[in-house]
Structure 1
Amino acid sequence: MKRTLRFSWIALLMVVLFLTGCATNDEQKSTEKKATTEEFKAYTVTDDSGKEITFDKIPETVVSLQPSNTEILYALGVGDKVIGATDYDNYPEKAKEVERVSDSMTINSEKIIALKPDLIMAYTIGDEAALKPLEDAGIPIFIIKSAVNFDDVYGDINQIAEVMGVKKKGNELVQTIQTQIKDVEDKVASVDSKEKTYFEISPSPEIYTAGAETFQQEILASAGIENIFVDQKGWAKIADEEVIKRNPNTIITTVGYVENAVNEIKSRKGWGDVDAVKKNQVYQLNEDVMSRPGPRIGEAVELTAKTVYPQLFK
């Protein structure tokens, strides 16, 4: 009898332990589920227009209205979320497959609304009136001011990273770019005399160059190059005679819409007397790399320095 009671007591204890374990396990699962649910909290990010935008969830679909911002999104590892872009969004290769919704100046509002994006990454130059229908459709619009220097680019990267829920990746990307630029600056620091360079962004007869307070000037400065028109401010229209007078030792052009931009420069009347032309030191660099304030600015600095000081990169 005692033996039977003993076994009954053990059996009862096992049942109690089993039920307790189940309850504990269920409670643990419930806690884990609650923690997962509460892990995400709504967050607010301020755009460059000063507007605070609150996100109840991380955007899953994005329309980008500027190539540099598209490049940033891809560099942050969220390019797969881009469902609309401009005609000029060509980097990386995957960006070419995205639906075209703008020519960078004119926005196809109807097409964007039809795509039903969670977010539109817009910018401060362009057809801003076209954003009104998108606002009326209830689509959040995050404005990014066009960057004019490297610090602006770093700020854009961090802003977009915060919006897309990848702040850590944003910090890492900025550090990678800064390291790449620093490596170039260290190499060109050994140059005794900076190369006198003319940088052309628009060809004859309406010749334009990049002066002080431009994105291109910062590229030239970081590459250890003397811009012969640094005394000009912004994008300046100049005369042939002024270039000839200042006599650059190197000429860089980013003009990609004329046939053989290098030969066009060399054949200009009077330019045969310029040292850069006489020494055959006229170079054409990739316009997108040299003009887009995005994640390839480190590449732009390196490309420019390698072009002007090839001996430093052997």
Structure 2
Amino acid sequence: MRSRVRGGTAAAVLGALLVAGCGDDGAGTASRAGRADAAAHPVTVTDCKGAETTFRRSPEKIVTSNAAALELLLRLGVGDKVIGTGFPPGKGTFPAGLDAQAQQVKVLSKTVIPKEKLLGSGADLYIDTFSAMKMGGGTGDAPTEKEFEAAGIEHIYLKSTACAARRSSPMTDLSAVEDDITALGKVTGTEDRAEKLVRGMRKKVDAVQKAVGSTPERERPTYFFFDYDAGTKQPTAVCDKQVGNAVINQAGARNIFADCDGAFKKVGWEDVISRNPEWIQLAVRNRGSEAADEKAFDEARKWLETNPATKGLTAVKKDRFLRIHSERTTIAGVTNADTVEKIAATLHPGKVD
């Protein structure tokens, strides 16, 4: 196992970590932030392979691979340290309190950040949401770890999403997401804020679990996450090691593709038909306005209702649709708990408010 100590920069692989020290109150003033940082560090964290890295202070210039890590940093109150991002959030896609700040972050790429631009960004920390998900496609080679090191950039991951391929068991709860938030709080000296976010998530999910968590598997409604934006020619299944599987499970439902090993997988409509879901989530990406969102949801529904292969599904015939943005389900974040609540309240009326 590799072990490194970096004194000039800071980073963390977000989740399943080893931590030394304890934080202060992370209150936001310069003096308090400084005390929190000093108290929280040094911090030792691990990556997807278990390699350890120790950091003596928190990062000052952060680049995020996409909007997921960016939103977490904004919620922790360190958005001023983010100097760039890939896959930027569209205007209006973040909550009102975060959106204006998010729009001020420099966009290094609308998709995967090119290698040269990332290495030359001046960052001391790059938070990678993808890793083994291989989101780069044809956008060019990702930097090697030696190249990151030469540029003075720590390369770390949101483990709840990036390390899916290395999980030995299905993701059935949100503990990995909570670990990501806790770890990021440790690294940035905002432990109290991170703990508050995690407590809020747990309060919501625990209430749902108290109401429907004991429902036997065979009695749980079957559920299909219809990723409309991923294309309709061949549906994309949310598999057992994806955050969405945990969200669906915690809501007291059965993911019809929970037997699929991995994060995402292209399947056939015949597979969906044979499993005949009782409920379907119309999962579309946030368009930035309520009107645009509703139009996209309507399009997804109309496609299911008019397509010969899907119009006979139980969920379609019984008008059992949920309109929930895909990001709130399959991208790790605080809103995963809100999605658990919404799904549970819809599928289990009278048991969950």
1:84 paired residue number: 84
Q: Is the 8 A contact 1:211 1:231 kept in 2?
A: yes
Distance 1:187 1:159, change over 3 A: same
Q: CA deviation at 1:242?
A: 3.1
1:282 paired residue number: 321
In structure 2, give the amino acid aligned to 1:195.
P
More contact order relative to length (CA 8 Å, sep ≥ 6): 2
Q: Is the 8 A contact 1:65 1:102 kept in 2?
A: no
1:210 paired residue number: 238
State how far apart, in whole Å, the 2-side matches of 1:204 and 1:144 are. Answer: 29
State how far apart, in whole Å, the 2-side matches of 1:110 and 1:236 are. Answer: 30
Q: CA deviation at 1:177?
A: 1.1
1:142 paired residue number: 156
State how far apart, in whole Å, the 2-side matches of 1:244 and 1:140 are. Answer: 46
In structure 2, give the amino acid aligned to 1:243.
V
1:33 paired residue number: none
Q: Is the 8 A contact 1:47 1:143 kept in 2?
A: no
Aligned-residue CA RMSD (Å):
3.1
Q: CA deviation at 1:160?
A: 1.2
Instruction: Say which SS state the counterpart of residue 44 (structure 2) adopts.
Output: strand
In structure 2, give the amino acid aligned to 1:207.
P
State how far apart, in whole Å, the 2-side matches of 1:112 and 1:40 are. Answer: 28
Q: CA deviation at 1:134?
A: 4.5
2:38 paired residue number: 40
Instruction: Say which SS state the counterpart of residue 261 (structure 2) adopts.
Output: coil
Instruction: Say which SS state the counterpart of residue 121 (structure 1) adopts.
Output: strand
TM norm structure 1: 0.75
Distance 1:215 1:140, change over 3 A: closer
1:261 is aligned to 2:275: no
Distance 1:108 1:141, change over 3 A: same
Q: CA deviation at 1:290?
A: 1.2
Equivalent in 119, 128, 136 of residue 122 of structure 1: 128
State how far apart, in whole Å, the 2-side matches of 1:310 and 1:88 are. Answer: 36
Residues 174-213 of structure 1: matches in 2 within 5 Å? 174-189=198-213, 193-201=219-227, 202-213=230-241
Q: CA deviation at 1:131?
A: 6.5
Distance 1:310 1:108, change over 3 A: farther
In structure 2, give the amino acid aligned to 1:74.
L
Instruction: Say which SS state the counterpart of residue 163 (structure 1) adopts.
Output: helix
Q: CA deviation at 1:111?
A: 6.4
1:102 is aligned to 2:109: yes
Equivalent in 298, 305, 311 of residue 272 of structure 1: 311
In structure 2, give the amino acid aligned to 1:135.
E
Q: CA deviation at 1:40?
A: 3.3
More helix by share: 1
Q: Is the 8 A contact 1:68 1:292 kept in 2?
A: yes
Q: Is the 8 A contact 1:45 1:163 kept in 2?
A: no
Instruction: Say which SS state the counterpart of residue 126 (structure 2) adopts.
Output: strand
TM norm structure 2: 0.67
Q: Is the 8 A contact 1:262 1:283 kept in 2?
A: no
Q: CA deviation at 1:104?
A: 4.5
In terms of Rg, which structure is larger?
1
Q: CA deviation at 1:119?
A: 2.7
TM-superposition CA deviations, 1:44-96 (whole Å, max 9, x none): 432415241423x3323322223222222122222222221123335331212
TM-superposition CA deviations, 1:112-131 (whole Å, max 9, x none): 635x3343323424453277
Instruction: Say which SS state the counterpart of residue 272 (structure 1) adopts.
Output: coil
Q: Is the 8 A contact 1:53 1:140 kept in 2?
A: no
Instruction: Say which SS state the counterpart of residue 220 (structure 1) adopts.
Output: helix
Q: CA deviation at 1:311?
A: 4.6
Q: CA deviation at 1:301?
A: 0.9
Residues 229-248 of structure 1: matches in 2 within 5 Å? 229-234=257-262, 235-248=264-277
State how far apart, in whole Å, the 2-side matches of 1:107 and 1:301 are. Answer: 35
State how far apart, in whole Å, the 2-side matches of 1:43 and 1:244 are. Answer: 53
Percent identity of equivalent pairs: 24
State how far apart, in whole Å, the 2-side matches of 1:199 and 1:271 are. Answer: 14
1:54 is aligned to 2:80: no
Unaligned 5+ segments in structure 1 are 1-35
Distance 1:107 1:51, change over 3 A: farther
1:304 paired residue number: 343
Unaligned 5+ segments in structure 2 are 1-33, 165-170, 288-294
